């Protein structure tokens, strides 16, 4: 494996192999496996789980890591091509990223969506431009429309809880005061389709996921025997579901238009996941969310603190699956 950027790039057998390796490293720790190896982590956006779990994973495998958060003790980094750099940024990614890559054995980059131009975000314009500057194994720490580390951890979580391969996963839009990126919903939709699940995207009008994201998931479902469809009917979508995966994202019908966005979401505060949502679901139906989550805005306390919630296991699973990714990238076995 040369890079870990998108589950869709990996050969079919690679995801099960990574999950098996993650299990093995949990069962039989290898504290010297990556001795002498260095992981660079470049965060252009904030993080808790991704930042801490990659550092912890590298340390548990005997390697080390450094973290760069531009503008916080290091130079602000310009990522736009061709700009006159007379603003706050003192360094351009065209110099900064190759320099960072020269200090480490693998580099992870987090670069969220710009949130203004849907076509540019769907094309991963920023992440791809940064990735092209890296001549080492590369890890996507979350880009405009992808979060493969989260997707892999979520797949492991589904396995850990014995969720049926053909089970129903409802990816439900949830309220947030601001339009959040499409990275997690896109990655989770694709992951669940690739796993062979019956996936229902439950969302209000105006919040449909873009056709290219739905098409990618449908192609994965065609390979695995799964299915993908959309619904605005909460009761119908959740009937018999094994998983409700709550996620907040921006209105795609008016992407980049802040005023129209605010108007559309103003009436949607009822999209906060509550216990009553699970009434038509399967008895063992669980709640997933990638975190961070706004309590009593996106998901109610009663759900997050109740027996259905497996959000902490999802977050924990970032560690073993990323250790498996690091092992494959840096040890090659
Ligand atoms: N889920 C996730 O990626 O969390 P962070 O943004 O805290 O890294």
Q: What is the 3-state secondary structure (H, E, C) of the chain?
A: CCEECCHHHCCCCHHHHHHHHHHHHHHCCCCCCCCCCEEEEEECCCCCHHHHHHHHHHHHCCCEEEEECCCCCCCCEECCCCCCCCCCCCEEHHHHHHHHHHCCCEEEEECCCCCCCHHHHHCCHHHHHHHCCCCCCEEECCECCECHHHHHHHHHHHHHCCCCCCCEEEEEECCCCCCCCCHHHHHHHHHHHHCCCEEEEECCCCCCCCHHHHHHHHHHHHHHCCEEEEECCHHHHHCCCCEEEEECCCCHHHCCCHHHHHHHHHCCCCCCECHHHHCCCCCCCEEECCCCCCECCCECHHHHCCCCECHHHHHHHHHHHHHHHHHHHHCCC
> Residue 266: its pLDDT value, please?
93
Is the omega angle on the peptide bond into residue 75 within 30 degrees of 0, that is, cis?
Answer: no
52 lines ligand 1 (CB under 6 A): no
49 lines ligand 1 (CB under 6 A): yes
pLDDT-derived band at 111, boundaries 50, 70, 90: very high
Q: Which residue, by CA, sits nearest to atom 6 of ligand 1? A: 47
pLDDT at 243 over 80: yes
CA of 180 to the centre of ligand 1 (A): 13
CA of 203 to the centre of ligand 1 (A): 22
pLDDT at 158 over 90: yes
pLDDT-derived band at 295, boundaries 50, 70, 90: very high
**Assigned token pair, 111:** 């670069």
**Assigned token pair, 247:** 């996620």
290 lines ligand 1 (CB under 6 A): yes
> Residue 218: its pLDDT value, please?
98
List beta partners, residue 228.
199
149 lines ligand 1 (CB under 6 A): no
Angle at 320 between CA 145 and CA 125, to 5 degrees: 20
* Cβ-contact 198, 231 below 8 angstroms: no
* Cβ-contact 122, 212 below 8 angstroms: yes
pLDDT at 291 over 90: yes
Point out the ligand 1 atom lying closest to the alpha carbon of residue 46: 6
- In a mutational test of the pocket of ligand 1, which residue from 290, 294, 317 has the highest number of ligand atoms less than 8 Å from its CB? 290
Question: How far is residue 308 CA from its own chain's centroid?
Answer: 21
> Residue 332: its pLDDT value, please?
83
Mean pLDDT of the chain: 97
First to last CA, the chain: 9
> Residue 267: its pLDDT value, please?
94
45 lines ligand 1 (CB under 6 A): no
Domains and CATH numbers, the chain: 3-147+318-330 (3.40.50.1370), 162-309 (3.40.50.1370)
> Residue 256: its pLDDT value, please?
95
CA of 73 to the centre of ligand 1 (A): 21
pLDDT tens sequence across 2-40: 999 999 999 999 999 999 999 999 999 999 999 999 999
Rounded-to-integer distance, Cα 260 and Cα 113, Å: 19
> Residue 285: its pLDDT value, please?
98
Point out the ligand 1 atom lying closest to the alpha carbon of residue 290: 1
Point out the ligand 1 atom lying closest to the alpha carbon of residue 51: 8
> Residue 327: its pLDDT value, please?
98
318 lines ligand 1 (CB under 6 A): no
- The mean per-residue pLDDT over the stretch 238-244 comes to 98
> Residue 80: its pLDDT value, please?
94
* Cβ-contact 311, 287 below 8 angstroms: yes
pLDDT at 333 over 80: no
CA of 147 to the centre of ligand 1 (A): 9
**Assigned token pair, 276:** 């009553």
> Residue 19: its pLDDT value, please?
98
Contacts (Cβ under 8 Å, ≥6 apart) of 104: 38, 39, 40, 66, 136
């Amino acid at each position: 494996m040369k890079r870990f950027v998108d589950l869709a790039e990996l050969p079919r057998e690679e995801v099960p192999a990574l999950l098996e390796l993650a299990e093995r490293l949990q069962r039989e720790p290898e504290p010297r496996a990556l001795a002498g190896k260095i992981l660079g982590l470049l965060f252009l956006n904030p993080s808790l789980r991704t930042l801490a779990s990659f550092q912890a994973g590298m340390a548990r495998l005997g390697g080390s890591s450094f973290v760069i958060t531009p503008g916080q003790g290091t130079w602000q980094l310009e990522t736009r091509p061709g700009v006159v750099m007379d603003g706050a940024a003192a360094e351009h990614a065209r110099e900064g990223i190759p320099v960072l890559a020269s200090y480490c054995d693998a580099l992870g980059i987090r670069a969220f969506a710009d949130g203004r131009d849907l076509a540019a975000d769907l094309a991963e314009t920023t992440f791809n431009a940064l990735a092209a500057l890296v001549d080492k194994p590369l890890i996507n720490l979350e880009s405009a429309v992808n979060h493969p580390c989260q997707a892999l951890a979520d797949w492991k979580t589904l396995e850990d809880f014995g969720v049926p391969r053909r089970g129903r996963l409802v990816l439900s839009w949830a309220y947030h005061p601001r339009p959040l990126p499409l990275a997690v919903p896109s990655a989770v939709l694709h992951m669940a389709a690739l796993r062979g699940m019956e996936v229902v995207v439950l969302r209000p009008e105006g919040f449909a996921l873009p056709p290219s994201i739905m098409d990618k998931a449908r192609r994965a479902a065609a390979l695995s025997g799964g299915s993908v469809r959309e619904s605005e009917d909460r009761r119908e979508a959740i009937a018999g579901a094994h998983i409700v995966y709550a996620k907040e994202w921006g209105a795609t019908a008016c992407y980049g238009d802040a005023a129209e966005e605010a108007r559309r979401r103003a009436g949607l505060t009822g999209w906060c996941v509550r216990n009553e949502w699970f009434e038509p679901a399967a008895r063992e139906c669980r709640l997933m969310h990638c975190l961070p989550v706004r309590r009593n805005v996106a998901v109610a306390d009663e759900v997050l603190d109740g027996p259905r919630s497996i959000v902490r296991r999802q977050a924990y699973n970032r560690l073993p699956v990323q250790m498996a990714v690091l092992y494959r990238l840096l040890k090659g076995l």
